[in-house]
Amino acid sequence: MSSSRLACAVYDAAGIVLGISATPLLPLLLLTRRGGSLSERLGRLPADARNLSRPVWIHAASVGEVLAAAALVDEVRRQWPERHVLVSTTSLAGRDTARARAGADAVMLLPLDVRLVVDRVLRQVRPCCLVLVETEIWPALIGGAARQGVPCMMVSGRVSGRAAARYAWARWLTRPVLAQMSAFAMQTDADAERIVRLGAPPDRVQVIGSLKYARGRGGDSAAEQTATEQARALVGGRPLLIAASTHPGEEQMALEACAPLWHEHPDLLLLVAPRRPERSNEIDELLARAGVSWERRSRLSGAVRPATRVLLLDTLGELPNLLSAARGVFVGGTIVPVGGHNVLEPALFGKPAAFGPFTSNVAAAAEALLEQGAAVRVHSAEELRAAWEAWLRRPQLAEEVGARGRALVDARGAVAQRTFEVVRRCLGE
């Protein structure tokens, strides 16, 4: 047996052993919040995924990747209107977002990466190709696709320095797995170099760019226009600052930044959108200790009350529409060492952005925004306050900074079409 086949066999055997070992725990897992998704992760397809005809299967891990993949879904529909599209996600939040915004024919959770499970799913789905968005390396799934003759490719590929270090210890496995893939459309030259070091055949690797540049601005369709109008009505015309995709510690910083601003701008509204809405109870306690008036979005039936200073966004899918009403945005996961979330999101709506020093997950986009003068990097509540204060006092400045970001996104917006061409070539069409 070759070393490549041996590596994959070891991974498959480990998956089977772990699966058997976990079997006694399944009844307990069914009692948890995630228990309801267990059958889907074990390979039972949702009803709408069972009758698709040779779909394009696109896998996106969570919310940010799903929103980026939506641009590719749109391009597939435009170029191949007769084809079905299936989107899978790793997280429950990603699945909810995909159902609301991806435009796919069906959405499901990614099955457990165990050979017996993924082979069964692949036989049922019978995809024409498998498209993995960003950093998604699933050995059993990729191997199963190869055995069944399904072309598999990575698009909008990203391998951060930290991820490369994690994968490096398992190069014995990543090399044979990546060798089974047809193409790698990477975001940057650095991503391309890292994926080659992990074992991707160099002649299959190219730099295409990030699908996050390809996402269209909200308000283009009648449905989006209605959603945007509803978002603005919710805010009631008040100056709005947004702390988006926040993690523990970042909500506190946003509050500290806003505290002096409320003296000069008493009608200012701060919207806090945590990366994980399930943290809403924790943020409620923070807001109570801070002594500010707040409301949860899920409990509102009309506009925010005039006396409310903080709106806690504890729902999914509404943030993009609310961005259109913002004066300025802070992008989370950047003050704490998470690596950053989609710093391009505000630019899509022509809004100025601030983010912290930890942007390894979005390094190329962050540097591009900074170089264009479309964003500022902050390190403290005081620096964030200064940025927000400038945009509040000088609306024209906020518009100029946001316009630079939008111009950057527009200039790179052909990435969805380039990505589609990679998919087309892998299918021999």
Is 228's pLDDT higher than 90? no
Topology adopted by domain 3-21+28-214+414-426: Rossmann fold (3.40.50)
- d(CA 328, CA 392) in angstroms, rounded, equals 8
CA dihedral 343, 345, 350, 354 (to 10 degrees): -30
Output phi, psi for 418, to 5 deg.
-65, -40
CATH code matching the domain that covers 226-411, chosen among 3.60.10.10, 3.40.50.1100, 3.40.50.2000, 2.70.150.10: 3.40.50.2000
Q: Kindly report the average pLDDT of the chain as a whole number.
A: 88
Res. 31 pLDDT band, cuts 50 70 90: very low
Percent of the chain having pLDDT more than 90? 63
Is 391's pLDDT higher than 90? yes
> pLDDT, tens digit, for every residue of 233-271?
888 889 999 999 999 999 999 999 999 999 999 999 999
Alpha-carbon radius of gyration of the chain = 22
Evaluate whether 85 touches 64 at the Cβ level (below 8 Å).
no
Evaluate whether 143 touches 346 at the Cβ level (below 8 Å).
no
The residue ranges of every structural domain in the chain are 3-21+28-214+414-426, 226-411
Is 214's pLDDT higher than 90? no
pLDDT of residue 42: 86
- d(CA 116, CA 288) in angstroms, rounded, equals 50
Is 48's pLDDT higher than 70? yes
